[in-house]
Amino acid sequence: MSRLTNPELTPISHPAGRDLLGQAGANGCPSIKHGPDELSAASLRKQIGLGSFRIDYCASRDELARHELAWQGLASAANAPNPFYTLPMLGAAWDYLAGASDVGVVLIYHDGERPAEKNRLMGLFPIEWSRELGLLTVRLWRHQYCYLGEPLVRPGIEARVWQLFLDWLGGHRRQPSLVDVNHIPADGEVYRGLIDASAIEKRLSLCVDEYNRAMFVRGDSFESYVANSCTKHSLQEIRRQRRRLEELGRVELKQPQDAAELEVALASFLVLENAGWKGKEASSLASANQSQAYFQTICRAASEQQQLQLLGLYLNGEPIAMKCNFLSQPGSYAFKIAFDERYSRYSPGIQLELETMKLLHEEDSIEWMDSCATRGHFMISRLWGEQRTLRRLLIPLTPAGELALGVSELSRRVWRCVKRIWPASGDKAGGQKN
């Protein structure tokens, strides 16, 4: 079974370069400054022929609508699907979650010589202006319910689009010093394009964080997949819990079939999630009007596009576990799951995950599902056999950005050396042991 990880932590496409300190970056992540000599802007332009590029910037929500058709075309043709950066989901996030954040959308168009190549949207970057290391920073916008920071880019010109984006930021009147690219899959062409663009422009690109996230990749059959991903003891226990659950009454898997059923299911999900630990910690979707409205809006929009999978495990007609997935062929994303904690002894969440895996093996158009889980999530990692590596890169645009990044990295390494030489010093500094 394939694993979508990059355990050696080396950059894809070409050997690792050197950062400001002449070594690999933080946490063993690669730092790229120089790349292969054969890469050049001219060679990249050959991929798309002649023509000119232009960059539009939407600084307000109202400006997004005029890009709708081009946006839809890009989303369906993009190198990697990212439903969080489609117009319905990003627009809803802007409406309900942006608050006072300084956000915008950078759109890169190409006008070719042929009529079919006129006004083609080639790349789309939702951004937020903020501060990092005391400097003005542009980060790819990720609100609390956005689990992927990969921009939408047409296949074949990833490096060129990144070049244009970085050059535009470098010449912007606000003069940002850093670019923060977070939660970008390290196994994709968009990531490779960023590394190549950094090499072409001889920009420093420092990986400051990464983690592996559980992922499902459809196997030959549901039975063989579960047998390979779960231990024999775990499967026996899950099946025992299912038998005990079925002794309580009728157990069914349901999905809404029309708009009326969808509204009932959405209300049920919100109530179910809010009744559990997330409600007690005020982190449930229903704990704030804005997050509840965002959830309802994106689910309705996805349902209209047949891209919503809202599953429920019901006991005697009442939901005991529910899961919301977004489908974006050939992949999908597990957005939220909730379960009735009164039935914890039967593991209703795990029972629903198994039902999801079975459905995905029956759906030929969906090849994989990203768990969107936090790092080290125990439950999903024991069920799903694959992983994907997500990275965070910081890219300086100014000498001040390079200096701040270098000083930060040096401080991090010095502190690691101090803790290795005098392990107790870290405990004394913090006042307690970790």
CATH number, domain containing residue 79: 3.40.630
**How many Cα neighbours within 13 Å face the side chain of 383?**
23
Instruction: Say yes or no: 158 and 35 in one domain.
Output: yes
Q: Do residues 127 and 165 both lie within one domain? A: yes
With respect to residue 87, please indicate whether it lies within any of the assigned structural domains. Answer: yes
Are 85 and 62 in the same domain? Answer: yes
What is the predicted pLDDT for the residue at 203? 87
Do 198 and 280 lie in one domain? The reply is no
**Which residues make Cβ contacts (< 8 Å) with residue 38, sequence separation at least 6?**
none
Q: Is 358 domain-assigned?
A: yes
Beta bridge partners of 332: 327
Its domain, for residue 254, covers: 219-366
Same domain assignment for residues 224 and 316: yes
Looking at the chain, the whole-number percentage of residues with pLDDT higher than 70 is 85
Residue 62 lies in a domain: yes
My answer on whether 201 and 278 are in the same domain is no
CB burial of 311-324 (b: ≥16 within 10 Å; e: otherwise) equals bbbbbeeebbbbbb
Residues 131 and 102 in one domain: yes
Domain assignment present for residue 184? The answer is yes
Cβ atoms of residues 168 and 123 within 8 Å: no
Cα(422)–Cα(425) distance, rounded to whole angstroms?
A: 6
Do 226 and 191 fall within a single domain?
Answer: no
Q: Global pTM?
A: 0.84
Asked if residue 80 and residue 204 are part of one domain, the reply reads: yes
Q: Please tell me the predicted confidence (pLDDT) of residue 431.
A: 40
Q: Comparing C-alpha atoms, which of 385, 298, 309, 312 is closest to residue 352?
A: 312
Domain-located, residue 9: no
Backbone region of residue 429 per phi and psi (left: phi > 0; alpha: psi in -120 to 50; beta: other values): alpha
pLDDT of residue 401: 92
Number of domains in the chain: 2
Strands 178-185 and 386-396 turn out to be antiparallel
Please tell me the predicted confidence (pLDDT) of residue 385: 85
* 189 in the same domain as 63: yes
- CA–CA dist 35, 163 (Å, integer): 14
Regarding whether 252 and 176 lie in a shared domain, the answer is no
Residue 371 lies in a domain: no
Whether 161 contacts 122, CB under 8 Å: yes
Enumerate residue ranges in the chain where pLDDT < 70: 1-51, 116, 424-434
Which CATH number is 234's domain given? 3.40.630.30
What token pair was written down for 44? 């990249």
Per-residue confidence (pLDDT) for residue 80, from 0 to 100: 87
Q: CA-to-CA distance for 286 and 336, rounded, in angstroms?
A: 13
Q: What share of the chain is helix, strand, coil (3-state, %, to 5)?
A: 40, 25, 35
Q: Is residue 2 part of a domain?
A: no
- Is residue 129 domain-shared with residue 271, that is, in the same domain? no
Q: Which residues pair with 349 in a beta bridge?
A: none
Residue 26 gets which letter from DSSP?
G
pLDDT at 51: 64
Domain annotation covers residue 11: no
Q: Is 167 exposed, middle or buried (0-12, 13-18, 19+ CB in 10 A)?
A: middle
